[in-house]
Amino acid sequence: MELQEAVIVSGARTPVGRFGGAFKDVPAPDLGATAIKAALERAGITADMVDEVVLGNALQATEAGYAARLASLRAGVPEEVPTIAINRQCSSGLEAINMAAQLVRTGEVDIVVAGGIENMSQSPFMLGYQARFDGLRMGDVNLVDGLTDGLGCPVNRYHMGVTAENVAERFGVSREDQDELALISHTRAASAVASGRFKGQITSVEVPQRRA
């Protein structure tokens, strides 16, 4: 079988907000829908031309349980168009793009929307399953942090930040080396923002405002 060529014809993203910042009241599907609409418009593609939507999403709780589908529908993609949600933690969005390319190359589809969506500010605190079946009576109840639950290693039972420390120790990456690289990275990012290098890829987001 001869494989087709897969190309990226457009792209768009929302600004990146801080934890608990401007986007804390904007659901991940809404952020995703905003980016999808912008990417389609820039490519000159209408929503009804899309054959498949593949989106990565790591924290899948509450509305984000199938955030990919909601983002697709809210972007105006017809409900007949199937959606795939991928969870490969930090590389979920990249894996979505990889899967989209495979779908195109094998000839299954022609046009795919692919990317990643997340809003960590909306990750909930949760009760354990015992509350559902055993009920809550006397005594304290522990809450499960959705961030710790979603981003922790279920095998070794520690947070991903601990993995970073272990990797640094194993490969001899000093704190000074990390700080130096971080400074270079942030300096370059600040320069890129100031010069407007990111303006072409960022689309604006409507943020709900509280009444005065």
Question: Which domain does 132 fall in, by range?
Answer: 125-194
pLDDT at 152: 80
Residue 169 placed within a domain: yes
CA distances from 141 to 105, 122, 147, 158 (A): 51, 21, 18, 22
Residue 51 placed within a domain: no
Residue 154 placed within a domain: yes
Residue 28 has pLDDT above 90, yes or no: yes
Determine the average pLDDT of the residues in 109-117: 97
Residue 210 has pLDDT above 70, yes or no: no
Determine the average pLDDT of the residues in 90-106: 96
Residue 171 placed within a domain: yes
Our count of domains for the chain comes to 1
Residue 177 placed within a domain: yes
pLDDT at 211: 64
Band the pLDDT of 207: cuts 50, 70, 90: confident
pLDDT at 212: 57
Determine the average pLDDT of the residues in 176-204: 95
Residue 176 placed within a domain: yes
Residue 175 placed within a domain: yes
Residue 144 placed within a domain: yes
Percentage of residues in the chain having pLDDT higher than 90: 68
pLDDT at 176: 96
Band the pLDDT of 209: cuts 50, 70, 90: confident
Highest-confidence segment of 1-10, 26-35, 62-71, 203-212 = 26-35
